[in-house]
Amino acid sequence: MSTSYEAMHMSDGLINAPASVLFGIIAIAGLGFCAWRARGDLDEKTVPMAGLVAAFIFAVQMINFPILPGVSGHLLGGALAAILVGPYTGALCIAIVLVVQCLLFADGGVTALGANITNMALISTFAGYLVATALYRLVRARTPSLGGLGVVAFVSALCGTLCAATGFVIEYAIGGVATTSLATVATYMWGTHVLIGIGEGLITAVTVVAVSRARPDLVYLLRRREAPAKQIGVPA
């Protein structure tokens, strides 16, 4: 496996054609569902916030930080987007960023775009949001403070990153074409993404706390916790 690996962006030729098609279909279906469900989340606050989130994640993803020799990471943004604008809108924001990066900057392979969207836009976002909602219930009851919210953001981003790495491992197990063994790939992915997840968690925590301090009414997680869940499938 290459030692010049950046976070989760898969290149062309890492998985075979059937697997690429399979995860392309999963990505299209998942984004279609998100687009349908996001209609109920989009309002005068969420729409401009979604644009800002997408622009911020795009900019921050261009900045890589070293993890190990020859290995660099960057913000995935799934948990951050989910906390700020919700999991459905957040997944769409990440997907748009990935498409632009792939087509305009050759960051991630075209044939691997479906797998990249599945990992970073769908798995990372929804895993991060589920962890955030579960933890925030506990934090709000015990320590209802910005510090507690920062902890929630950090842990949810770390978990979302590791879940996305697991998605990569599953995709490689299904259709990997490299000669590297699955055990080696899994060890490498989980090991490096623990470190990437820590960086992801710190960036997410700082951003969420800053936005919550200035405009808590713009944070989707806080707004959803203050009102009963009205949509099936979104944890209350």
Q: What are the extents of the domains in the chain?
A: 11-226
Q: What is the pLDDT of residue 236?
A: 38
pLDDT digits (tens, 9 = 90+) for 109-127: 899 999 999 999 999 999 9
Regions of the chain short of the pLDDT cut 70: 1-8, 65-73, 141-144, 225-236
Q: How far apart are CA 20 and CA 175, in angstroms?
A: 8
The answer to whether the beta carbons of residues 83 and 204 sit under 8 Å apart is yes
pLDDT digits (tens, 9 = 90+) for 98-108: 999 889 887 77
Bridge partners (DSSP) of residue 68 are 71
Q: What is the pLDDT of residue 229?
A: 41
% of the chain at pLDDT higher than 90: 56
The answer to whether the beta carbons of residues 91 and 81 sit under 8 Å apart is yes
Q: What is the pLDDT of residue 96?
A: 95
Encoded tokens for 153: 């953001």
The answer to whether the beta carbons of residues 204 and 153 sit under 8 Å apart is yes
11-226 CATH choice from 1.20.1730.10, 1.10.3720.10, 3.30.43.10, 1.10.1760.20: 1.10.1760.20
Nearest by Cα to 127 from 171, 172, 81: 81
Helix, coil or strand: residue 56: helix
Nearest by Cα to 115 from 39, 189, 33, 30: 30
Q: What is the pLDDT of residue 142?
A: 67
